[in-house]
Amino acid sequence: QVRLVESGGGSVQAGGSLRLSCAASGGTFSSWAMGWFRQAPGKEREFVGGISWSGRYTDYADSVKGRFTISRDNVKKTVFLQMNSLKPEDTAVYSCAAKGTSNYADRRPSSWNYWGQGTQVTVSS
């Protein structure tokens, strides 16, 4: 069984930073592409960023490019999302996801195989 557990969410003021972590167990973490998605109240789930199995390639939504950074540690089986210069519109539940090694930049939530429970990020103006 594959299990993904997010941590690091919380409440910050606009301009602040948070670092999210997603710890994986089961499966073969080093062979998976990993991604972060978010969903705000009343909105559809949207792609935030993805990273290839090797960590060599990344992709980001235009709305977070230059502010967020995704990385991974295949020894610790953990993927991270460093969020800087946070804005109120970043407020959402953030979830990590895993899939096979192909297409780490897939924007479609339905294409991802495994999901964590999510962690709340709230940014106040």
Give SS3 for 18.
strand
- Whose tokens are 């991974």? That residue is 72
The confidence score (pLDDT) of residue 117 equals: 97
What digits encode the pLDDT tens for the residues 5-58? 999 999 999 999 999 999 999 888 888 999 999 999 999 999 999 999 999 999
The confidence score (pLDDT) of residue 71 equals: 97
What digits encode the pLDDT tens for the residues 71-109? 999 999 999 999 999 999 999 999 999 998 779 999 999
The confidence score (pLDDT) of residue 104 equals: 95
The confidence score (pLDDT) of residue 29 equals: 83
The confidence score (pLDDT) of residue 1 equals: 85
- Whose tokens are 């804005």? That residue is 87
CB-based contacts of 3, cutoff 8 Å, min separation 6: 24, 25, 26
What whole-number distance in Å separates Cα of residue 83 and Cα of residue 20?
8
The confidence score (pLDDT) of residue 18 equals: 98
